[in-house]
Amino acid sequence: MAVIFDEPDHVGHEIGHDTPAYYTKLHELDGYIGQILQAVKEAGIWDDTVIIITADHGGIENGHGGKTMMEMETPFIIAGKGIQKGQVITNSMMQFDIASTIADLLGLQQPQVWIGRSVIR
């Protein structure tokens, strides 16, 4: 299942990235993620679940799409079944590595044309 939040993109565009309003929105979203995690626990599937929290881009001032680290760097948090706790990914990774990581978690062989690599191995 994927849950995609349309924010904080709008706040970033309208008010600005890296602003107090931006972080207020992130705090609000953190609460929603907490509700999702609680629902997973209540459904009794916590021990069979892997949670990935990431974003498709960062931002700078009121935009994104450039080549600054503020725009290109995104979080990647993964936890759950089969994921070593406390591990820090020190190698660089790309967005397409997420699909490869999910395929790896599911025990699937990724298609030959994919160039991604699993980040949990």
- Positions in the binding site for Zn ion (CB under 5 A): 9
Closest approach of Cβ 9 to Zn ion, in Å? 4
- Rounded to a whole number of angstroms, the minimum distance from the CB of residue 13 to Zn ion is 5
CA distances from 82 to 49, 60, 101 (A): 9, 35, 12
What is the nearest approach in angstroms of Zn ion to the Cβ of residue 35?
24
**Full DSSP string of 43-81:** TT-GGG-EEEEE-S---BTTB--SSSHHHH---EEEEET
CA-nearest of 54, 48, 55 to 77 is 54
CB-nearer residue toward Zn ion: 9 or 117: 9
Whole-number minimum distance, CB 68 to Zn ion, in Å? 15
Give the nearer residue to Zn ion in terms of CB position, either 9 or 61.
9
**17 versus 78: smaller Cβ distance to Zn ion:** 17
Single-letter amino acid code for the residue at 6: D
Helix (H, G, I), strand (E, B) or coil at 112: coil
* Closer by beta carbon to Zn ion, 57 or else 117: 57
